[in-house]
Structure 1
Protein backbone atom coordinates (compact mmCIF):
# COMPACT_ATOMS: atom_id res chain seq x y z
CA UNK A 1 0.00 0.00 0.00
CA UNK A 2 1.25 3.48 -0.80
CA UNK A 3 1.31 6.42 1.57
CA UNK A 4 -0.38 9.81 1.55
CA UNK A 5 3.05 11.40 1.08
CA UNK A 6 3.22 9.70 -2.32
CA UNK A 7 0.09 11.54 -3.38
CA UNK A 8 -1.96 8.35 -3.39
CA UNK A 9 -5.28 7.81 -1.71
CA UNK A 10 -5.07 5.35 1.17
CA UNK A 11 -7.64 2.89 2.46
CA UNK A 12 -7.52 4.78 5.75
CA UNK A 13 -8.62 8.00 4.03
CA UNK A 14 -11.55 6.21 2.40
CA UNK A 15 -12.54 4.46 5.63
CA UNK A 16 -12.37 7.74 7.56
CA UNK A 17 -14.60 9.45 5.01
CA UNK A 18 -17.14 6.61 5.11
CA UNK A 19 -17.22 6.63 8.92
CA UNK A 20 -17.86 10.36 8.82
CA UNK A 21 -20.71 9.78 6.36
CA UNK A 22 -22.18 7.09 8.61
CA UNK A 23 -22.03 9.47 11.57
CA UNK A 24 -23.82 12.15 9.60
CA UNK A 25 -26.49 9.69 8.55
CA UNK A 26 -26.97 8.61 12.17
CA UNK A 27 -27.48 12.29 12.96
CA UNK A 28 -30.19 12.52 10.31
CA UNK A 29 -31.95 9.52 11.83
CA UNK A 30 -31.87 11.20 15.25
CA UNK A 31 -33.28 14.36 13.69
CA UNK A 32 -36.12 12.34 12.18
CA UNK A 33 -36.86 10.73 15.55
CA UNK A 34 -36.95 14.21 17.10
CA UNK A 35 -39.37 15.44 14.40
CA UNK A 36 -36.97 18.18 13.36
CA UNK A 37 -38.14 20.52 10.58
CA UNK A 38 -37.90 19.28 7.01
CA UNK A 39 -35.47 22.01 5.93
CA UNK A 40 -33.01 21.08 8.69
CA UNK A 41 -33.18 17.38 7.77
CA UNK A 42 -32.66 18.17 4.09
CA UNK A 43 -29.58 20.27 4.85
CA UNK A 44 -28.07 17.35 6.74
CA UNK A 45 -29.04 14.86 4.02
CA UNK A 46 -27.31 17.09 1.51
CA UNK A 47 -24.19 16.97 3.67
CA UNK A 48 -24.39 13.15 3.77
CA UNK A 49 -24.73 13.03 0.00
CA UNK A 50 -21.72 15.30 -0.44
CA UNK A 51 -19.68 13.19 1.95
CA UNK A 52 -20.55 9.97 0.11
CA UNK A 53 -19.71 11.64 -3.21
CA UNK A 54 -16.29 12.52 -1.79
CA UNK A 55 -15.81 8.92 -0.67
CA UNK A 56 -16.66 7.76 -4.18
CA UNK A 57 -14.13 10.19 -5.59
CA UNK A 58 -11.46 8.81 -3.25
CA UNK A 59 -12.22 5.23 -4.31
CA UNK A 60 -12.05 6.18 -7.98
CA UNK A 61 -8.88 8.23 -7.47
CA UNK A 62 -7.25 5.27 -5.71
CA UNK A 63 -8.17 3.04 -8.63
CA UNK A 64 -6.87 5.56 -11.16
CA UNK A 65 -3.59 5.90 -9.28
CA UNK A 66 -3.20 2.13 -9.20
CA UNK A 67 -3.82 1.93 -12.95
CA UNK A 68 -1.64 4.82 -14.08
CA UNK A 69 1.67 4.18 -12.34
CA UNK A 70 3.50 4.44 -15.67
CA UNK A 71 1.78 7.63 -16.84
CA UNK A 72 3.36 11.05 -16.69
CA UNK A 73 2.39 13.13 -13.65
CA UNK A 74 0.77 15.78 -15.88
CA UNK A 75 -1.49 13.14 -17.46
CA UNK A 76 -2.50 11.86 -14.04
CA UNK A 77 -3.27 15.42 -12.93
CA UNK A 78 -5.45 15.93 -16.03
CA UNK A 79 -7.36 12.75 -15.20
CA UNK A 80 -7.89 13.93 -11.61
CA UNK A 81 -9.16 17.32 -12.82
CA UNK A 82 -11.57 15.58 -15.19
CA UNK A 83 -12.81 13.44 -12.32
CA UNK A 84 -13.35 16.58 -10.21
CA UNK A 85 -15.41 18.13 -12.99
CA UNK A 86 -17.44 14.97 -13.45
CA UNK A 87 -18.34 14.71 -9.78
CA UNK A 88 -19.18 18.41 -9.56
CA UNK A 89 -21.74 18.04 -12.36
CA UNK A 90 -23.41 15.07 -10.69
Structure 2
Protein backbone atom coordinates (compact mmCIF):
# COMPACT_ATOMS: atom_id res chain seq x y z
CA UNK A 1 0.00 0.00 0.00
CA UNK A 2 1.27 3.46 -0.87
CA UNK A 3 2.08 6.10 1.71
CA UNK A 4 -0.51 8.40 0.11
CA UNK A 5 -3.23 5.83 0.72
CA UNK A 6 -2.10 5.31 4.30
CA UNK A 7 -2.23 9.03 5.02
CA UNK A 8 -5.54 9.61 3.24
CA UNK A 9 -7.71 6.99 4.95
CA UNK A 10 -6.40 4.71 7.67
CA UNK A 11 -7.70 1.35 8.82
CA UNK A 12 -8.13 2.90 12.24
CA UNK A 13 -10.49 5.55 10.82
CA UNK A 14 -12.59 2.85 9.19
CA UNK A 15 -12.59 0.67 12.30
CA UNK A 16 -13.56 3.61 14.50
CA UNK A 17 -16.46 4.44 12.20
CA UNK A 18 -17.66 0.82 12.21
CA UNK A 19 -17.44 0.60 16.00
CA UNK A 20 -19.51 3.77 16.25
CA UNK A 21 -22.09 2.21 13.90
CA UNK A 22 -22.18 -0.95 16.00
CA UNK A 23 -22.73 1.10 19.16
CA UNK A 24 -25.57 3.00 17.51
CA UNK A 25 -27.16 -0.26 16.38
CA UNK A 26 -26.88 -1.67 19.91
CA UNK A 27 -28.70 1.46 21.07
CA UNK A 28 -31.50 0.79 18.58
CA UNK A 29 -31.85 -2.76 19.89
CA UNK A 30 -32.12 -1.41 23.45
CA UNK A 31 -34.74 1.08 22.32
CA UNK A 32 -36.74 -1.74 20.75
CA UNK A 33 -36.53 -3.78 23.96
CA UNK A 34 -37.74 -0.72 25.89
CA UNK A 35 -40.66 -0.34 23.44
CA UNK A 36 -39.60 3.21 22.58
CA UNK A 37 -41.73 5.24 20.14
CA UNK A 38 -41.39 4.48 16.44
CA UNK A 39 -40.17 8.00 15.67
CA UNK A 40 -37.27 7.68 18.14
CA UNK A 41 -36.24 4.32 16.72
CA UNK A 42 -36.35 5.62 13.15
CA UNK A 43 -34.18 8.62 14.01
CA UNK A 44 -31.54 6.29 15.46
CA UNK A 45 -31.81 3.88 12.51
CA UNK A 46 -31.19 6.82 10.17
CA UNK A 47 -28.07 7.65 12.20
CA UNK A 48 -26.87 4.03 11.87
CA UNK A 49 -27.46 4.11 8.12
CA UNK A 50 -25.57 7.38 7.75
CA UNK A 51 -22.66 6.03 9.80
CA UNK A 52 -22.43 2.85 7.72
CA UNK A 53 -22.61 4.92 4.51
CA UNK A 54 -19.67 6.99 5.75
CA UNK A 55 -17.70 3.82 6.54
CA UNK A 56 -18.38 2.57 3.02
CA UNK A 57 -17.11 5.84 1.56
CA UNK A 58 -13.93 5.55 3.62
CA UNK A 59 -13.34 2.02 2.35
CA UNK A 60 -13.91 3.17 -1.24
CA UNK A 61 -11.60 6.16 -0.77
CA UNK A 62 -8.88 3.94 0.65
CA UNK A 63 -9.21 1.50 -2.24
CA UNK A 64 -9.05 4.27 -4.84
CA UNK A 65 -6.08 5.85 -3.08
CA UNK A 66 -4.22 2.56 -3.47
CA UNK A 67 -4.36 3.04 -7.25
CA UNK A 68 -2.46 6.35 -7.38
CA UNK A 69 1.08 4.93 -7.36
CA UNK A 70 1.62 5.44 -11.10
CA UNK A 71 -0.45 8.57 -11.62
CA UNK A 72 0.80 12.03 -12.54
CA UNK A 73 0.77 14.66 -9.78
CA UNK A 74 -2.09 16.62 -11.41
CA UNK A 75 -4.17 13.45 -11.65
CA UNK A 76 -3.51 12.66 -7.99
CA UNK A 77 -4.59 16.19 -6.99
CA UNK A 78 -7.79 15.86 -9.05
CA UNK A 79 -8.50 12.46 -7.54
CA UNK A 80 -7.84 13.78 -4.05
CA UNK A 81 -10.31 16.61 -4.63
CA UNK A 82 -12.91 14.15 -5.92
CA UNK A 83 -12.41 11.90 -2.90
CA UNK A 84 -12.84 14.89 -0.59
CA UNK A 85 -16.15 15.67 -2.31
CA UNK A 86 -17.25 12.04 -2.07
CA UNK A 87 -16.53 11.87 1.64
CA UNK A 88 -18.49 15.09 2.25
CA UNK A 89 -21.62 13.87 0.46
CA UNK A 90 -24.41 12.07 2.22
TM superposition score normalised by structure 1? 0.80
For the residues of structure 2 that align with 1:54 and 1:40, how far apart are their CA atoms?
Answer: 22
For the residues of structure 2 that align with 1:3 and 1:49, how far apart are their CA atoms?
Answer: 30
Q: How does 1:1-90 map to 2 (within 5 A)?
A: 7-71=7-71, 72=73, 73-81=76-84, 83-84=86-87, 88=90
For the residues of structure 1 that align with 2:23 and 2:48, how far apart are their CA atoms?
Answer: 9
Structure 2: gaps spanning 5 or more residues: none
| Structure of higher RCO (CA pairs closer than 8 Å, 6+ residues apart) | 2
Instruction: Point out the structure with the larger helix share.
Output: 2
Structure 1: gaps spanning 5 or more residues: none
TM superposition score normalised by structure 2? 0.80
Over the aligned positions, Cα root-mean-square deviation in angstroms equals 2.3
Query: For this pair of structures, how many residues does the alignment match?
Result: 86
8 A Cα contact 2:2 2:66, kept in partner = no
